[in-house]
Amino acid sequence: MANKPTIYIVASDASRNGKTLLARLIVDYLLLDGKDPFVLDTDAPEGPLRQYFPGRTALTDFDKITGRMKVFDTILAAPGRDYVIDLPQRHMLSFFKAIAELNFFNAANKAGFRIIVFFVVDWVLPSLRAAQDVFEVPGIDLFVAVINETIGSAWPAEEGALKIPILPRKLAILIADRRFSLRNFVLGNDQGIGSSDKPDLNQFLFSVFDSLNTLDVDVTLQRLKP
């Protein structure tokens, strides 16, 4: 992952495809790496990501102008740390429209941030087109296509992508509990995970964290283009 302060934006044009899980994994990865990420959950009022990181999350209502400004002002007012933005499907278009209107990426770059966008490409063709549209947004330093192997993806198999492996349903239900910490599991707290299930969860986390660890932030956008 990037060494300089980074804004990680996790987006998709579809819902229920593992996007918030990926955002959660990114936050836990950064914490395990000794970073101090702050989370911006734009999915008010539910705030699914805030449930896992209540002490380091701001919940915003991106449907309102005040909510949009809170996202951007929070970041620019406190540079020097990482930010993770969980962007629900219903806000994706308005988010990137606001980015363009406010020239936010340019301001963030001047403040010393790198911009990385993770886009979970769903299995239908329109999702691939939506990924292409986001890919072409000016100011993004790295666009990362994401394939959730549980649901499939329209992203070409031969192109580079971060993959979320299939997780057994039993484990998916267990880790969805807001009291379950993936970071604490990695640090040795089983939190009720049985010995027969630990290898599967360990392998899942290793696969995702290893992919995040080996992300080449200098890769050109052209190389990842579908």
In the structure, how many helices (H) and strands (E) does the chain have? 9, 7
- CA-nearest of 2, 3, 81, 99 to 42 is 99
The predicted pLDDT at position 222 comes to: 37
Asked if 168 contacts 197 with a C-beta cutoff of 8 angstroms, the reply is yes
Asked if 126 contacts 13 with a C-beta cutoff of 8 angstroms, the reply is yes
- CA-nearest of 68, 77, 18, 14 to 42 is 68
Q: What is the pLDDT of residues 129-178, one digit of tens each?
A: 999 999 999 999 889 999 999 999 999 977 888 999 999 999 999 999 99
Global pTM? 0.93
Cα angle 163, 167, 173 (rounded to 5 degrees) comes to 130
Asked if residue 180 has pLDDT above 70, the reply is yes
Radius of gyration of the chain (CA): 17
Query: Quick one: residue 188, left, alpha or beta (phi over 0 = left, psi -120 to 50 = alpha)?
Result: left
Q: Which fold has domain 6-219?
A: Rossmann fold (3.40.50)
